Amino acid sequence: MPRNEGVPQPILNEALEKLIEQEDGTRLYMACSNSISLQNSGPYNWRKPEEYFTEHAKGFSVELGTPSFPTLESWKRTIPAPDLWPISDVWAYHDWHQTGNGAVASYMKAMDEELGPATSLEDFERKAQMLQYVSYRAILEGFNAGLWKTNSARMFWMTQPAWPSSAWQIFSSDYDTHAAFYGTKKASEPVHVQMNLPDFKVMVINNGRASLDGATVHARVTTLDNKLVSEKKAVVSAGAGLTADAFTLDLAPALTNGVALVSLDVASASGEILSRNFYWQGRDEASYRALAGMGQAKVGAKAASRTDGADRVTVIDLANQGATAAIETKLTLFGSNGAQVLPALFTDNYVSLLPGEHRRIEVRYPASAAKGAVTVRLRGWNVAPTAVKAK
């Protein structure tokens, strides 16, 4: 590609194309990085999740993104305390701006309609993470849904910024990872089970190099008060790099109450769980307000640490011990000096658990990054803030 987002003058374009053919002969020459035989750039602002399945970024998508607010801890390290709340022009220095590429107007409208206007920085960050997990997962699940049929590539602008930012990133300049990262990670699993939009078709994506044979897909649909509405299973197989349809869910009975909780998993022929996924699906934008009325979930946690070379590894066992689903359980690691441990690589985060479900999370970090025994702090959409010290 001789030029970014444009075609060079003919004297350069034609000469370069000829040179590449003469000197190499094996490489594809493309005169422009985003518009010739490519999908073009964008969008860069918040869009409805289903649009990534039906409208945006078909074909070879070179670049797209959406506002991506960092964690509460990262933002507090970035913005002076007097300017943290309410939203002000100081935020715009870190890309939270109202116009232009990445404008936050549609993002704020979605937050207000679906989750209610934020009342504090903590409330804003909590709602932002809900939106971002769904958005970033949908960007890649929409790609998965049309893999090798309507879609061949999808690239993010961007991974992380050098300057503390609130736009497009999947992790922060200080290496803290927010919900956008884990939505991306979820949709990019080696084997992935997902629910498409807007038709609620459940499918399995096999991103591996070996065939997936005789896998069992399992779906549970429940209400916010944990009543089972429906359950489905199917056996599927998918070749290497291919997808397989399982079934289509009928969410109408659950959506009469506004929001359905959809829990998916796929297990290998030997019974090993290969992928889990969890959705809170509303009937319409306003129906998501029902999430605010959920009871507080009771999540228990145990943690233990071990040394592995120059790294430390903390293993956290989570359990939903109550009768209410725990939505977006966020884990954060702190050293004995109260400083957040960074970088820290979590096998999963922003975890949702149905009543009775368990999950094990491993966190790997440089031993030098943590002073003394670490503490794991938990919070979430409806998870009361708590902490557990690793043994």
DSSP states of 145-200: HTBTTTEEEEEES-S--SS--SBS-SS-TTS---HHHHHHHHHT-SEEEEE-TTT-
- The DSSP annotation for 263-296 comes to EEEEE-TTS-EEEEEEEEEESSGGGGGGGGGPPP
Could you list the residue range(s) of the whole structural domain that residue 107 is in?
A: 51-179
Confirm whether 10 is domain-assigned: no
Cα–Cα distance, 192 to 264 (Å, whole number): 10
Bridge partners of residue 180, in order along the sequence: none
Structure tokens given for 219? 């779906």
* Same domain for 303 and 286: no
Identify whether 318 is part of a domain.
yes
Q: Are residues 55 and 173 in the same domain?
A: yes
Among residues of the chain, what percentage have pLDDT more than 90? 96
Given 148, 179, 210, the domain boundary residue is 179
For residues 70 and 160, what is the distance between their CA atoms, to the nearest angstrom?
11
Which of 135, 153, 179 is the last residue before a domain boundary?
A: 179
309-316 mean pLDDT: 97
**pTM (predicted TM-score):** 0.96
What CATH number is associated with residue 277?
Answer: 2.60.40.10
CATH number at residue 129: 3.20.20.80
Q: Which of 235, 257, 227, 199 is nearest to 54 (CA)?
A: 199
Identify whether 1 is part of a domain. Answer: no
What letter does residue 6 receive in the DSSP assignment?
A: S
Does 360 lie in the same domain as 258?
no
Tokens of 164: 């503390």
- Residue 202 CA to residue 122 CA, distance in Å, equals 34
Do 64 and 94 share a structural domain?
yes
Position 57 scores a pLDDT of 72
HSE-CB for 291 with a 13 A CA cutoff: 31
Backbone angles phi, psi at 3, to 5 degrees: -150, 145
- For residues 89 and 121, membership in a common domain is answered with yes
DSSP classification of residue 367: G
pLDDT of residue 138: 98
Q: How many residues does the structure list for the chain?
A: 391
Q: Is 343 helix (H, G, I), strand (E, B) or coil?
A: coil
Interhelix angle 179-187/121-145, nearest 10 degrees:
20
**Which residue reads 């999950």 in tokens?**
359
Do residues 265 and 308 share a domain?
A: no
Please give the biggest Cα pair distance in the chain.
70
Last residue of a domain, one of 278, 293, 308: 293
List beta partners, residue 282: 259
- Tokens describing residue 368: 């030098």
In a domain, 185, yes or no: no
Residue in 57, 47, 58 with CA at minimum distance from that of residue 134: 47
pLDDT tens readout for residues 238-273: 999 999 999 999 999 999 989 999 999 999 999 999
Do 363 and 347 fall within a single domain? yes
Residue 268, pLDDT score: 98
**Helix runs in the chain, H state only:** 10-23, 51-54, 72-78, 89-92, 105-114, 121-145, 179-187, 252-255
Specify the pLDDT at position 51. 97
280 and 329 assigned to the same domain: no
Domain assignment present for 17: no
Mean pLDDT score across all residues of the chain: 96
- Residue 360 falls inside a structural domain: yes
Q: How many CA atoms lie within 13 A of 257 on its CB side?
A: 19
Identity (one letter) of the amino acid at 390? A
For residue 116, the tally of other CB atoms under 10 A from its CB is 14
Q: For residues 20 and 27, is the Cβ–Cβ distance under 8 A?
A: yes
Q: Are residues 215 and 269 in the same domain?
A: yes
In a shared domain, residues 87 and 201: no
Kindly state whether residues 173 and 195 are assigned to the same domain: no
Per-residue b or e along 57-84, where b marks 16 or more CB atoms closer than 10 Å to that residue's CB = bbebbbbbbbbbbbbbbbbeebbeeeeb
In terms of domains, do 129 and 228 share one? no
pLDDT in tens, 7-56: 999 999 999 999 999 999 999 999 999 988 898 999 999 999 999 999 98
On whether residue 276 sits in a domain, the answer given is: yes
Question: Is 46 inside a domain boundary?
Answer: no
pLDDT tens-digit profile of 170-227? 999 999 999 999 999 999 999 999 999 999 999 999 999 999 999 999 999 999 999 9
Total of domains in the chain: 3
